[in-house]
C-alpha cells in the first residue's frame, strides 16, 4: 500500500487527497495541518458572509469520513517533524501550506509599518478568529483599501455592512462588535491598474448593490467600449453600482492610482500619494490603510527557494517523492475552482509517478514518532459540533479562537469515557 | 429503470451530489450511470434512458467549467426528441444570477426537443437545507413520474 502525506489541510491539500483516493482508494493518505483544525482558507479566508462558498468543506468531510484519509492536526512541519522524516516515512509528500504572508507595498521597509496600516491577511485572520492572529487594529475615520482584487472587495463589503447584514455569518461577537462599532467616515478602494484590468470578479462587484447603508461612486472609469468580453463585463458591473445610494457611508472606487508614498505623522498613517507617472499625483488623506495587494511566503518551509529549485514546477513535482500543490506551487493566484483543477491534476500525476516505481515498504505516520498532541478527524468533528451548538443568535457558528481550547475540547469526550 | 445522471461542476459540489443521488437510486433498485458533462456529447445521449441533470452555476450566471463544452456543442444540437430529463440546479442566492447554469441547460435541452419531467428544482448554498435533502426527493419524484407514465 502506498502512503502519501499532505502538508496543509486547506482546499488544495484536501482536493489533492480527494483526487488521490478517488483513483486509489487502497492507498493511505494522511493530511497534516499546523492548526488543530482543518480546511485552512475555507475556514479563515473565505469571507464570513459567504457561507455558501464554505459549503465545499462538506466534500472535504467526506474525504475523511468515507474515502479513508486521516487528519493529523496540530503538527507543524519543521517543528514537530522535519521534511526529511516525512519523506522517509511516506512514498510521497505534498506541500500544500499556502502563502500566509501579506505582500507589503515596496516603499514600506519591513519592521517600520506605521500605526493604522494593516495587511489584508492579518486583518482577516483577526476577524475570523485564527488562533495565531494578532489583535484587531484600531481603525476608523477615512479608510483606504489598497488593491483591486476579491480580497479587497470582501473587506470593503464587511466594513460597509451594518449589524443586520451580518446575519447568518460565522463572525464572533468580538468581530461583530469591531465591525459595527467602527466609526468609518469613508471607504476608498484604490488600485494601480485601469478599471477594466482590475482583478475583481464582476459577480462580487454586483453583490455590493445589496449593501443597505452606502453611497457608491466609481471614479476613473474609461471612456469608449471595450473589445474584451471579460473587461466589458467588469466595467458594466462597476457602472451598475456607480451612483447606488442606500445610506450615508461613502464608498469610492479609484483606478489608475499606483501608490507613490505613504504619509505618516508621529508613526501614524495620515494619507497616501498615488497616481500615474506624468499625470498629476493625488493626495488621499486617510486614518487607516488596509493593504490587499497579494500574498507571499511568510518564510515557512523556505518556499521560494524550494519552488525555484523544483524539477517541474508547472506540474507540481519538486523532486522524487516531493510535490507542491495550490498557492504553495502556483503563487497566490486563482480561486478555489482553479486550485481544485490543479490539485486533481497533481493527484493524477502522483498516482502515475508512484505506480511507475517499484513499491517499497514505508512506515507512514507511525514512523514519524510524533510526541506532540494531535487532533484527528473525530476530534475535529467534536470541535465542529461544539462551534455549531454554541453559535450566537444570528450566527451559524461561533469559532473556538484559541489553540489551547481547541486541543482541550477536541479530547474532552475521550477523557470522559 | 435505466438512469443516467449527468453533472456539471466547478467546485465538485454538483459531482458529490450526483454521487449521492446515484447511491439513493441504486438502493431503490435502479441501474444508474453517472457522467461528467465534460465527457458527454449531445449526440451520445441515449433517449431510452431517463437523464437526471445536476448542474451548478458559476461566475456571472455562467455554466460551470465542466458543462461548458456541452453547452457549446448544444448550439449545434441534434434532435433530442424522445429524451426525458429531470433537472436540478445548485446555486448561491448571495449572487443575483443564482441558478442560471441549470436554467441554461434546461432551455438548451428543451429547445432540442427533449421533454422535461417535473419542475426544475434548485438548491441554495446560502440556505439552511442540505443539497441532498432537496435533491433526493426531486430525483425520486422524477423517477416516479416516468415510472407511472411507462
pLDDT number for residue A413: 55
A15 vs B: CB within 8 A: yes
Query: 3-state class of A371 per DSSP?
Result: coil
Beta-strand runs (E) in A38-140: 70-73, 92-95, 101-102, 117-119
pLDDT band at A417 (very low <50, low <70, confident <90, very high): very low
pLDDT tens across B98-129, in order? 789 999 999 999 999 999 999 999 999 988 89
pLDDT number for residue A109: 61
Which domains, and CATH codes, for chain B?
A: 2-149 (3.40.50.360)
| DSSP state for residue A36 in the 8-state scheme | S
pLDDT number for residue A111: 58
For the cut 90, the answer to whether the pLDDT of residue A276 exceeds it is: no
Q: Are strands A322-324 and A317-319 parallel, antiparallel or unpaired?
A: antiparallel
CB contact under 8 A, B124 and A340: no
pLDDT number for residue A226: 81
> Which whole number is the average pLDDT over B21-44?
96
Residues of chain A in contact with residue B60, where contact means CB-CB under 8 angstroms, are 202-203, 206, 233, 237
pLDDT number for residue A112: 74
The Cα–Cα gap between B12 and B10 comes to: 6
Contact map slice: A 339-378 vs B, CB within 8 A: 340-341
The Cα–Cα gap between A268 and A289 comes to: 10
Whether A257 and A326 share a structural domain: no
> Which whole number is the average pLDDT over A68-77?
97
Å from A242 to nearest chain B CA? 17
Nearest CB to A203 within list B11, B65, B95: B95
Whether A152 and A274 share a structural domain: yes
| Domain interval for residue A244 | 104-292
Cα separation values, B77 from A165, B47, B49, Å: 44, 14, 18
Helices assigned H by DSSP within B28-130 = 68-74, 100-111
Whether A167 and A148 share a structural domain: yes
CB contact under 8 A, A53 and B92: yes
> Which whole number is the average pLDDT over A159-187?
95
Give the CATH number of the domain where residue A42 resides.
3.40.50.720
A207 vs B: CB within 8 A: yes
Å from B70 to nearest chain A CA? 18
CB contact under 8 A, A52 and B94: yes
Find the residue in A nearest to B65 (Cα).
Answer: A337
Nearest CB to A203 within list B16, B60, B126: B60
Q: Which of B15, B123, B125, B131 to mutate to test the interface with A (most CBs of A within 10 A)?
A: B125
Whether A151 and A16 share a structural domain: no
Comparing A43-47, A294-298, B94-98, the range with the smallest average pLDDT is B94-98
Q: How many residues are given for chain A?
A: 417
Handedness of CA A235, A237, A239, A245 (dihedral sign): negative
The Cα–Cα gap between B40 and B28 comes to: 26
pLDDT number for residue A300: 84
Whether A275 and A308 share a structural domain: no
The β-bridge partners of A214 are A249
Question: In whole numbers, what is the pLDDT of chain A averaged over residues?
Answer: 94
Complex prediction ipTM = 0.90
The Cα–Cα gap between A393 and A387 comes to: 13
Last residue of a domain, one of A261, A292, A323: A292
Output the nine-digit C-alpha cell for B31: 441501474
pLDDT tens across A332-353, in order? 988 999 999 999 999 999 999 9
Whether A267 and A302 share a structural domain: no
Output the nine-digit C-alpha cell for A386: 461544539
Cα separation values, A143 from A38, A271, A287, Å: 33, 10, 6
CB contact under 8 A, A51 and B124: no
Nearest CB to A203 within list B12, B13, B59: B59
Whether A147 and A259 share a structural domain: yes
pLDDT band at A198 (very low <50, low <70, confident <90, very high): very high
Whether A86 and A10 share a structural domain: yes
pLDDT band at A277 (very low <50, low <70, confident <90, very high): confident
> Which whole number is the average pLDDT over B27-32?
96
* Cβ contacts from A onto B, under 8 A: 52
| DSSP per position, A8-24 | --SHHHHHHHHHHHHH-
Last residue of a domain, one of A270, A292, A314: A292
Whether A248 and A304 share a structural domain: no
Q: What is the dihedral of CA A383, A385, A179, A251, to 10 degrees?
A: 110
Give the CATH number of the domain where residue A137 resides.
3.50.50.60
pLDDT number for residue A412: 67
CB contact under 8 A, B125 and A53: yes
Å from B148 to nearest chain A CA? 35
pLDDT number for residue A110: 58
Q: What is the dihedral of CA A353, A356, A360, A365, to 10 degrees?
A: 30
Last residue of a domain, one of A244, A270, A292: A292
Q: How many domains does chain A have?
A: 2
Å from B72 to nearest chain A CA? 17
Whether A136 and A215 share a structural domain: yes
Find the residue in B nearest to A337 (Cα).
Answer: B11
Find the residue in B nearest to A22 (Cα).
Answer: B16
Q: Which of B7, B9, B12, B98 to mutate to test the interface with A (most CBs of A within 10 A)?
A: B12
Comparing A21-30, A63-72, A105-114, B14-23, the range with the smallest average pLDDT is A105-114
Output the nine-digit C-alpha cell for A75: 503538527
Residues of chain B in contact with residue A52, where contact means CB-CB under 8 angstroms, are 92-94, 124-126
Å from B23 to nearest chain A CA? 13
Nearest CB to B97 within list A52, A203, A341: A203
Whether A131 and A237 share a structural domain: yes
Let me know: does A225 contact A196? Beta carbons within 8 Å.
no
Amino acid at each position: 500500500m502506498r502512503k502519501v502525506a499532505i502538508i496543509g489541510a486547506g482546499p488544495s491539500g484536501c482536493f489533492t487527497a480527494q483526487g488521490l483516493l478517488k483513483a486509489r482508494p487502497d492507498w493511505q493518505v494522511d493530511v497534516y495541518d499546523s492548526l488543530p483544525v482543518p480546511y485552512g482558507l475555507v475556514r479563515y479566508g473565505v469571507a464570513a458572509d459567504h457561507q455558501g462558498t464554505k459549503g465545499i468543506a462538506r466534500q472535504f468531510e467526506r474525504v475523511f469520513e468515507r474515502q479513508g484519509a486521516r487528519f493529523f492536526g496540530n503538527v507543524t512541519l519543521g517543528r514537530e517533524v522535519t521534511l526529511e522524516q516525512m519523506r522517509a516515512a511516506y512514498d510521497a509528500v505534498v506541500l500544500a501550506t499556502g502563502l500566509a504572508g501579506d505582500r507589503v507595498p515596496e516603499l514600506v521597509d519591513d519592521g517600520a509599518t506605521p500605526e493604522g496600516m494593516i495587511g489584508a491577511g492579518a486583518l482577516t485572520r483577526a476577524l475570523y478568529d485564527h488562533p495565531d492572529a494578532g489583535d484587531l487594529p484600531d481603525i476608523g475615520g477615512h479608510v483606504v483599501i489598497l488593491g483591486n482584487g476579491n480580497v479587497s472587495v470582501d473587506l470593503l463589503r464587511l466594513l460597509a455592512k451594518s449589524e443586520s447584514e451580518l446575519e447568518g455569518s460565522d463572525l464572533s461577537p468580538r468581530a461583530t462588535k469591531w465591525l459595527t462599532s467602527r466609526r468609518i467616515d469613508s471607504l476608498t478602494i484604490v488600485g494601480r491598474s485601469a478599471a477594466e484590468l482590475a482583478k475583481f470578479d464582476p459577480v462580487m462587484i454586483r453583490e455590493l448593490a445589496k449593501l443597505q447603508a452606502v453611497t457608491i461612486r466609481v471614479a476613473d472609469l474609461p471612456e469608449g467600449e471595450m473589445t474584451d468580453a471579460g473587461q466589458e463585463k467588469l466595467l458594466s458591473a462597476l457602472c451598475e453600482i456607480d451612483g447606488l445610494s442606500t445610506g450615508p457611508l461613502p464608498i469610492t472606487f479609484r483606478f489608475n492610482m499606483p501608490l507613490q508614498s505613504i504619509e505618516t505623522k508621529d508613526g501614524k498613517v495620515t494619507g497616501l500619494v498615488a497616481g500615474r507617472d506624468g499625470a498629476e499625483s493625488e493626495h488621499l488623506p486617510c486614518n487607516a490603510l488596509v493593504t490587499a495587494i497579494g500574498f507571499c511566503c511568510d518564510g515557512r518551509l523556505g518556499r521560494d527557494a524550494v519552488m525555484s529549485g523544483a524539477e517541474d514546477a508547472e506540474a507540481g513535482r519538486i523532486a522524487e517523492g516531493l510535490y507542491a500543490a495550490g498557492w504553495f506551487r502556483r503563487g497566490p493566484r486563482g480561486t478555489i475552482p482553479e486550485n481544485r483543477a490543479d490539485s486533481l491534476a497533481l493527484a493524477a500525476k502522483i498516482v502515475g509517478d508512484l505506480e511507475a516505481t517499484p513499491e517499497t515498504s514505508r512506515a507512514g505516520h507511525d514512523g514519524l514518532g510524533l510526541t506532540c498532541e494531535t487532533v484527528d478527524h473525530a476530534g475535529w468533528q467534536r470541535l465542529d459540533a461544539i462551534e455549531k451548538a454554541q453559535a450566537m443568535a444570528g450566527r451559524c457558528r461561533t469559532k473556538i479562537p484559541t489553540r489551547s481550547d481547541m486541543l482541550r475540547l477536541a479530547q474532552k469526550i475521550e477523557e470522559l469515557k | 429503470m435505466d438512469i443516467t445522471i449527468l453533472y456539471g461542476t466547478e467546485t465538485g459540489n454538483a459531482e458529490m451530489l450526483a454521487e449521492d443521488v446515484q447511491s439513493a437510486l441504486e438502493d431503490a433498485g435502479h441501474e444508474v450511470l453517472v457522467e461528467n458533462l465534460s465527457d458527454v456529447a449531445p449526440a451520445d445521449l441515449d433517449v431510452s434512458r431517463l437523464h437526471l441533470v445536476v448542474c451548478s452555476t458559476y461566475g456571472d450566471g455562467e455554466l460551470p467549467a465542466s458543462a461548458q463544452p456541452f453547452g457549446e456543442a448544444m448550439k449545434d444540437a441534434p434532435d433530442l426528441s424522445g429524451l426525458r430529463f429531470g433537472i436540478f440546479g445548485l446555486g448561491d442566492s448571495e449572487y443575483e444570477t443564482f441558478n442560471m447554469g441549470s436554467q441554461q441547460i434546461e432551455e438548451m435541452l428543451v429547445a432540442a426537443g427533449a421533454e422535461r419531467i417535473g419542475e426544475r428544482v434548485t438548491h441554495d448554498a446560502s440556505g439552511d437545507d442540505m443539497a441532498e435533502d432537496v435533491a433526493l426527493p426531486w430525483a425520486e419524484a422524477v423517477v416516479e413520474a416516468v415510472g407511472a407514465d411507462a
